[in-house]
Structures are given as C-alpha cells and as structure tokens.
Amino acid sequence: MKTKIIFQFTLITLAISFITLGCVAALGHHGFTQEYHPWIFILMILGGQSPAYVSFFVLWKNGEVSGLKEFMNNVLYTKNKPILYLFPVFMVALYYVAHIAVSGTSEIQPIFMIFPLALGALFAGGTESAGWRYILQPGLDKKFGFIVSAVVTGIIWVIWHIPFFFIPALPQYTMDFWMFAVNVIGMSFIFGAIIRISGKGAIFLSIIAHTLINATGGVFVFNETWPGTIVAFAVVVIASLVTVFINDKRGGAYEVTDSR
C-alpha cells in the first residue's frame, strides 16, 4: 500500500472524527442531545463510520478499487478456511478470560444475548475494520513489520476514539482512558495476527473479531483494573506473536487485498 494512501486515509479519518464527534460533544454539554434532537445521530454516524467510507473514498480516488462493488467484494470476502473463523473466537475468548480471571466480573448476561448484541456491535464498531484493517495496519505491516504496525495502528486507533470520551451517551465517557488505550493496543495485536494468517479474508475476519469483542463485552462485563488490563494485554500480545511466528515459519499465506 502506497504511503500516500495510508497518510490520506489516516488524516481524513481523524479529521472527520474530531469534527463530527467534537460537535456532538460540544452540543451535548450545551443541552443538545440525541434524546431531544435526533438529527445529532447523523453526526454520530458520520464520525463513527468514518474509517469505512473514508477507506473506500481514498482507495477509489487512488485507483486501488474500481468502485464500490470491488471494495465490498474485498471487505466481505468469506471464502476462508473454516479453521480461520475459529481464530478470532479463540483470541477474543482469551482476552476476556484473562481479564475476568484477574479482575472478576461486575455483570454477566445470559450467553444467548451475544447474538442480538452482535448485530448492534457490527455497526457500532465492526465496520471500522473496513478501514483500519484494509489500509492502515496491513500497509504499515508491509513497511515496518508486525510489531511496529500493531503498536502504531493501536495508537492511531486510540487517538481516533478521543472524542468518544467527551460524549456522555457513549460507554467511553465513564472509562479510564489509559486502560482503554492499553486494551486497544492489545487488540491491535490480535487484528495484526488475523491479517498475517488470513490472506484475502483478513478484513472480513477482522470485522468478525471486532464485533465479537464488543458483543462479548456486553455479556461478560469485567471489572476494570490495572492488573487485569496488564495481564490481558500480555496474554493477547504473546498469543499474537506466537501465532505470527508459527505462521511465518510455515510460510503461511500473507496476501491481503490491498497489497498492490
């Protein structure tokens, strides 16, 4: 992926997020909320979905995709080996087990709730991977390697989330920012491993992983503690590094749709 495309995607996505969600935050603190002003939801959608539609725009503008059909075919490539679908499930489970084992839970919903929650989680976060895992992370991986790409993508991803922490209606409003940042960078290692082992299906499998992370968080609500955060971070980073090491040793597929 050309450096120009990575830079354009990152800059435009961050700018849109800070402008639209910054407006939502400012309006909210002056009494204008979605409860009484539904039109504010448009700004939420524009900001929250920015990685996906900016990804398409930048790729199309630079001739990397011919149009929306090719873009969507790449994003929704599902012809993956069945075992690859188990990897996101395993990594998400590992993340939550590590957190809960150390910090415990504050709330547990019936397990079947993960299915309806997944529908909302898909649009509330899963679609972000159409940008972060289509352009940014694989592009950085090819230029700088797995670890650097995971850390840098994670930091940019955290920065993109900053406006969320100023909007009372969102979960981030009551979260500890630095714990959130460590968790997000740890997740970035998970997505980096998915990219390395999944080939052309990396984007779709990343969407699944992100959706599972958000939906599972609504079922198993763990206590936010620094020991739990650090242990979960270490566990997923080590698991991701081991996965990538084994994959590279075996000469596993590393062919992403944006590798031109």
What is the total count of domains within the chain? Answer: 1
What does the pLDDT read at residue 260?
42
Q: Is residue 130 part of a domain?
A: yes
Residue 103, domain member (yes or no): yes
58's tokens: 């930048």
Domain holding 149, by residue range, is 74-249
pLDDT at 255: 55
- Report if residue 61 sits inside a domain: no
pTM to 2 decimal places: 0.91
Q: Within a domain: residue 20?
A: no
Mean pLDDT of 100-121: 84
Using DSSP's 3-state secondary structure scheme, residue 108 falls into strand
Residue 69 pLDDT: 96
Residue 90 domain-assigned (yes or no): yes
Mean pLDDT of 43-68: 95
In this structure, what token pair is assigned to residue 225?
A: 């503690």
Q: What is the pLDDT of residues 220-232, one digit of tens each?
A: 888 999 999 999 9
Query: In this structure, is residue 150 part of a structural domain?
Result: yes
70 CB burial (10 A radius; 0-12, 13-18, 19+): middle
Which alpha helices (DSSP H) does the chain contain, by range? 3-28, 40-48, 50-61, 68-75, 82-103, 114-124, 129-131, 137-144, 146-161, 177-198, 202-219, 226-249
Asked, for residue 165, whether it belongs to a domain, the answer is yes
The predicted structure's pLDDT at residue 138: 94
Work out the average pLDDT over 6-17.
97
Q: Mean of the pLDDT values across residues 194-210?
A: 92
Does the residue 42 lie in any domain? no
- Give the helix/strand (H/E) hosting 111: none
pLDDT of 254 > 80? The answer is: no
The residue ranking higher by pLDDT, 259 or 65, is 65
CB atoms within 10 A of CB 185: 20
Give the mean pLDDT of 111-135: 84
pLDDT (mean) for 1-18: 94
Structure tokens at 230: 């650090």
Measure the CA–CA gap between 218 and 241, rounded to whole angstroms. Answer: 27
Q: How far is CA 109 from CA 76, 171, 217, in A?
A: 30, 17, 10
The token pair at 66 is: 């011919």
For residue 46, the Cα-to-chain-centroid distance in whole angstroms is 17
157-184 pLDDT, tens per residue?
A: 999 999 999 998 788 888 999 999 999 9
> Is it the case that residue 203 has pLDDT exceeding 60?
yes
